[in-house]
Structure 1
Amino acid sequence: MRYFLEFAYKGTRYHGWQYQPNACSVQETINHALSTSLRENIDVLGAGRTDAGVHAKQMFAHFDTEKEIVEPVFIKKLNSFLPKDIAVFKIHKVAVDAHARFDANARTYEYYIHQQKNAFECDDSWFFPYPLHLELMNSACAILMKYTDFECFSKTNTDVNTFNCTITKAFWIKKEEQLVFTISADRFLRNMVRAIVGTMINIGQEKVSLQQFRAIIESKNRSKAGFSVPAHGLYLTQVTYPYITNLNTQKNES
């Protein structure tokens, strides 16, 4: 039987999602908790990879077991084996060929910036105390959505077959004392969101024009784009599947 695990994590003390032999990862931590709970060797496969320090308000991973899982009891038990910075919301029983990574049809990220020093946001939002032209940054979002090839925002030496992504949503808003960037697409390249945000920061400071932004995208050259913003302001906020509709409502709470 195959199950999808729906969960969230704070990425501060982890070296990303994916297992690494000499570092603590979210995947390894969940593998251990599931293996302990089910008393068998469990290896989860996630909906995607997040870099060191990146958070997830909603993440999915699938695993196989021959045991029938009783959800409310099992979730409570599993959470008791997990550290406080990883929380499981729900378990979905799915078809045996369902795949957490390849079946996802959309993903959404948010990036948080605070512009006044805040002792309580230092691990969860990036402090950038300089003026930004939000209207220009949203104009850049409109330009961004007209393209599909985002090689210029991809980490170099990445093993992918295509740099094409279909962006369905991209915008900046001011939310109380924070600026929040939201972006949704069918897929994302490694480091793509952080590179987009860094480039838009340059636009917001009027160091890069909208015409230059178009040229950066069309160049397909990572060195032409802006810097990569720090990981701790980035959140994976939603992953959607065509066969899962009763998604956890806590995922978008701040």
Structure 2
Amino acid sequence: MRYFVQFSYFGKAYHGWQNQPNAITVQEILEKALSTLLREKVEVVGAGRTDAGVHAKQMFCHMDVGSISDSDELVYRLNAFLPDDIAVQAIFPVADTAHARFDAVERTYEYWLVREKSPFLFDYAHLVKHPLNLPAMNRTAQLMLNYTDFECFSKSNTDVKTFKCDVREAVWTVDKDKWVFTITADRFLRNMVRAVVGTLLDVGQGKMSPEDIHKVIASKDRGEAGVSVPAKGLYLTKVSYPKEIFDEQKG
């Protein structure tokens, strides 16, 4: 049977989500835990990949295993077995054709900045001491919504069929002692969000004008965009699926 697993993780200790031969990843840890508790070899397919050091508040994967009689009990046992920086929230049956990656219709990321040094947010947010023009950063973010080709923000030499993304939201907000950039799209390119944030910070510091974003995007050149900000401030916060995925639960 096919099951979806909803989980979250703090990415500092991991070299991203996807299995790699010589580095510890979230996928490896989750598969080992599931294989041990279910007493069968379990391979999972994630909703996407996150790079080294990136976090996920909401992530999904699917797996094909024998029937699970008590999913709540399995969630409880998994959380006792997994390290403290990975947590499972739910396991539920879906149709055999449901796919954690290909059926996802929307993803949302947040990037966290702090404006003053904070020992309590050091591992959670990127410190930017320079003065920043928040209205200019938000104007630039809104201008981005007019485009679909974001090759300029993609990691160089990425093997993808298309650089097109439907970006539906891009906005900065202030939440007490941190600034939060929220961006939602149907899909994201590798390193895209961190490159977008780096470019918006260039605007905020006056190195670029909001209107410069037009020539940056038109260039399709990663070198024209800003530097990638550190991974520690990036969070995958939501993965959305068609309602039918959840309606097809069998128990």
TM-score (norm 1): 0.95
Superposition deviation, residue 38 in structure 1:
0.2
- In the alignment, the residues of structure 2 paired with residue 214 and residue 112 of structure 1 have an alpha-carbon distance, to the nearest angstrom, of 25
- Aligned residue for 2:178? 178
In the aligned structure 1, how far is the partner of 2:162 from the partner of 2:22? 30
> Alignment identity in percent?
55
Cα contact 2:58–2:238 (8 A) shared by 1: yes
Which residue of structure 1 lines up, in the alignment, with residue 152 of structure 2?
152
Classify the secondary structure of the residue corresponding to 1:210. coil
Letter in 2 for 1:145: L
Q: For residue 62 of structure 2, what is the aligned residue in structure 1?
A: 62
| Partner SS state of residue 136, structure 1 | helix
Deviant stretches of 4+, over 6 Å: none
Do the aligned residues in 1 keep the contact of 2:54 with 2:234 (CA within 8 Å)?
A: yes
Q: Which moved more, 1:147-156 or 1:206-215?
A: 206-215
The number of aligned residues is 246
1:206 shift after superposition: 1.0
User: Which residue does 1:225 correspond to in 2?
Assistant: 225
User: Quick one: which amino acid aligns to residue 223 of structure 2?
Assistant: S
The aligned residue for residue 87 of structure 2 is 87
Instruction: Supply the distance in 1 between the matched residues of 2:64 and 2:235 (Cα, whole angstroms).
Output: 27
Query: What is the distance in 1 between the residues matched to 2:180 and 2:155?
Result: 23
Q: Give the stretch that moved more between structures: 113-122 or 63-72.
A: 63-72
Q: CA deviation at 1:68?
A: 2.5
| Whole-angstrom CA distance in 1 between matches of 2:36 and 2:58 | 23
Q: For residues 52 and 10 of structure 1, what CA distance do their matches in structure 2 show?
A: 11
CA shift, 1:70, in A, is: 1.2
Give the unaligned 5+ runs of structure 2: none
Q: Which residue of 2 aligns with 1:26?
A: 26
C-alpha distance after superposition, 1:123-174 (max 9, x if no partner): 1101111111000000011100000000000001111000000011110011
**Relative to structure 1, is the Cα distance of residues 143 and 203 closer, same or farther in structure 2, using a 3 angstrom cutoff?**
same
Alignment of 1:75-224 (within 5 A): 75-224=75-224
SS at match of 1:92: strand
Measured at CA, do residues 40 and 165 of structure 1 come closer, stay the same or move farther in structure 2, by a change above 3 Å? same
C-alpha displacement of 1:97: 1.1
CA drift of 1:67 comes to 2.2
Q: Say what the alpha-carbon RMSD is for the aligned residues.
A: 1.0
- TM-score normalised to structure 2 length: 0.96
Moved more, 69-78 or 51-60: 69-78
For structure 1, the residue ranges without an aligned partner over 5 or more in a row are 247-254
Q: How far does residue 244 in structure 1 lie from its aligned partner after superposition? A: 4.5
The one-letter code matched in structure 1 to 2:23 is A
Which residue matches 2:71?
71
Question: In the alignment, residue 38 of structure 1 is paired with which amino acid?
Answer: L
Deviations 1:103-128 (A, max 9, x none): 00000000000011100111110111
